[in-house]
Amino acid sequence: MKIVVIPDKFKGTLSSREAGEAIRRGIIEVMPLSSVKCISVADGGDGTVEAYLSSVGGKRKYLEVCGPNFKPIRACYAVLPCGRAVIEMAQSSGMGVAEPGSNPVFTTSYGVGELIKDAMDEGCREIIVGIGGSATNDGGVGMAAALGARFLNSNGEDIEPSGGGLSSLSRIDLGGFDPRVASTKFLVACDVDNPLCGENGAAAVFAPQKGASAEDVVLLDSNLRHFAQTVKRFVGVDLLEIKGGGAAGGLGAGLKAFCGAELTSGTELLLDTVEFEKETADADLIVTGEGSFDSQSLGGKLPLGISRRSGGTPVAIIAGRVELSEEEIKKAGFFAAIESAERGLSFDKIKKTAAEDLKNAAIRLAKMIKNV
């Protein structure tokens, strides 16, 4: 049999690559003559650069950039063989690199702009920006400032490019904005459709996860609304109408306004890049996976995307937790859903044995297939 293994990350335990390898080992133990190909994927958050490099090759480019707390950090992005760049905002402006106790009132996406600038220096004229895992709520003002935009207060002075700094914004000057942006195609890997402002907006939904208090949320939402009004006046783009504009603290809206970016599904974008249909055209089976296979999975996450694009090839899923009924599983296009983690264990215990548990779940799946 030819089997394609293409799991999502198991959040907090295994990367997509590690999960795929565990599943591969389990299948080969039962079906040693099978051809098993693993494809790493990511939805635009942590692990996006690694997933692209593992799947299609390329090189990492490291540089020092401004971190979310305005201090220098080391970050990287990928340059693919086709000349595309893949930038993971989590590398420069994410929760994983933010200082303990960070607050999105005071953080910036400036480092994202520096990565974009360096990618253009490398000659890349098509740039994928994965915007999951952010520590920011600045509407992308930091990113744009790094590319030469000036955000000025009523005295003509540069504001701090942060969520809190937006309150004093009076004018936007794009006279020094990097002209190469206009000839560069930007694709934003974004799997949320939250608007910039309001009860479902960037501040209300995501800022508390980044350290914002209830009072901070009110301030940040007000600042983003003021930012949107200023952008409409000086740039001519209505940020409030952008579906997904609230992603990554409004970076989705900022990339659309200042870089003309196209916001698209991170899952679909990566499946296109790895030529999913070509890779699975002659496969006998596709195996995917994620940490929890539940109602959120049916809202457009990776496993459902794979099921929809499988072209009739049988698809099975292995998940740490399977929370759907048999009817829901089959309706979503999966012939089998295998649970890997033992019920009742703490997350710390699950984490220690995650790879071995995943391998054992793959063994059970392979035995099931072999006996059909």
Residue 258 neighbours by CB distance under 10 Å:
26
Task: Give 155 or 265, the one with higher predicted confidence.
Answer: 155
For residue 295, give the DSSP letter. G
Q: Residue 41 in contact with residue 16, Cβ under 8 Å?
A: yes
pLDDT tens for 147-171 read 999 999 999 999 999 999 999 999 9
User: Tokens representing 83?
Assistant: 């000349």
Q: What is the mean pLDDT of residues 68-85?
A: 97
What is the domain count for the chain? 2
Q: Are residues 184 and 69 in the same domain?
A: yes
Q: What is the mean pLDDT of residues 66-84?
A: 97
What per-residue confidence (pLDDT) applies to 2?
96
Q: What is the mean pLDDT of residues 11-24?
A: 91
Q: Are residues 254 and 303 in the same domain?
A: no
For residue 272, being part of any structural domain is answered with: no
Least confident of 11-15, 101-105, 194-198, 306-310: 11-15
CATH number at residue 139: 3.90.1510.10
pTM of the model: 0.87
Q: Are residues 354 and 295 in the same domain?
A: yes
Q: Residue 159 in contact with residue 168, Cβ under 8 Å?
A: yes
CATH number at residue 353: 3.40.50.10350
* pLDDT of 252 above 90: yes
Q: What is the mean pLDDT of residues 292-305?
A: 83
pLDDT tens for 84-102 read 999 999 999 999 999 999 9
For residue 274, being part of any structural domain is answered with: no
End-to-end alpha carbon distance in the chain: 13
What residues are paired with 152 via a beta bridge? 158, 171
For residue 84, being part of any structural domain is answered with: yes
Q: Are residues 296 and 361 in the same domain?
A: yes
User: How many alpha carbons fall within 13 Å on the CB side of residue 157?
Assistant: 5
Sheet of 315-322, strands arranged across: 35-38, 2-5, 285-293, 315-322, 336-339
Q: Are residues 249 and 344 in the same domain?
A: no
Q: Count Cβ atoms within 10 A of the Cβ of residue 226 and give its class: 0-12 exposed, 13-18 middle, 19 or more buried.
A: middle
Q: Point out the domain boundary residue: 198, 232, 267.
A: 267
Q: Are residues 130 and 252 in the same domain?
A: yes
Q: Point out the domain boundary residue: 241, 267, 293.
A: 267
For residue 98, being part of any structural domain is answered with: yes
pLDDT tens for 207-234 read 999 999 999 999 999 999 999 999 999 9
Confidence category of residue 46, pLDDT binned at 50, 70, 90: confident
* pLDDT of 41 above 90: no
Q: Residue 130 in contact with residue 87, Cβ under 8 Å?
A: yes
* pLDDT of 54 above 90: no
For residue 140, being part of any structural domain is answered with: yes
Q: Are residues 107 and 163 in the same domain?
A: yes
Q: Are residues 254 and 190 in the same domain?
A: yes
* pLDDT of 300 above 70: no
For residue 273, being part of any structural domain is answered with: no
What per-residue confidence (pLDDT) applies to 118?
98
Q: Are residues 168 and 86 in the same domain?
A: yes
Instruction: Find, among 98, 75, 89, the residue nearest to 131 by Cα.
Output: 89
What per-residue confidence (pLDDT) applies to 348?
85
Q: Count Cβ atoms within 10 A of the Cβ of residue 82 and give its class: 0-12 exposed, 13-18 middle, 19 or more buried.
A: exposed
* 36 Cβ contact list (under 8 Å, min separation 6): 3, 4, 5, 24, 27, 28
For residue 183, give the DSSP letter. G
For residue 186, being part of any structural domain is answered with: yes
For residue 102, give the DSSP letter. -
Q: Are residues 144 and 250 in the same domain?
A: yes
* pLDDT of 191 above 80: no
Distance CA 99, CA 108 (A): 12
Q: Residue 242 in contact with residue 263, Cβ under 8 Å?
A: yes
pLDDT above 90 covers a percentage of the chain that reads 81
* pLDDT of 177 above 80: yes
Q: Are residues 100 and 144 in the same domain?
A: yes
What per-residue confidence (pLDDT) applies to 372?
64
Q: Point out the domain boundary residue: 267, 295, 313.
A: 267
What per-residue confidence (pLDDT) applies to 310?
95
User: Tokens representing 111?
Assistant: 């480092």
Domain range for 229: 48-267
For residue 275, being part of any structural domain is answered with: no
Q: Are residues 147 and 8 in the same domain?
A: no
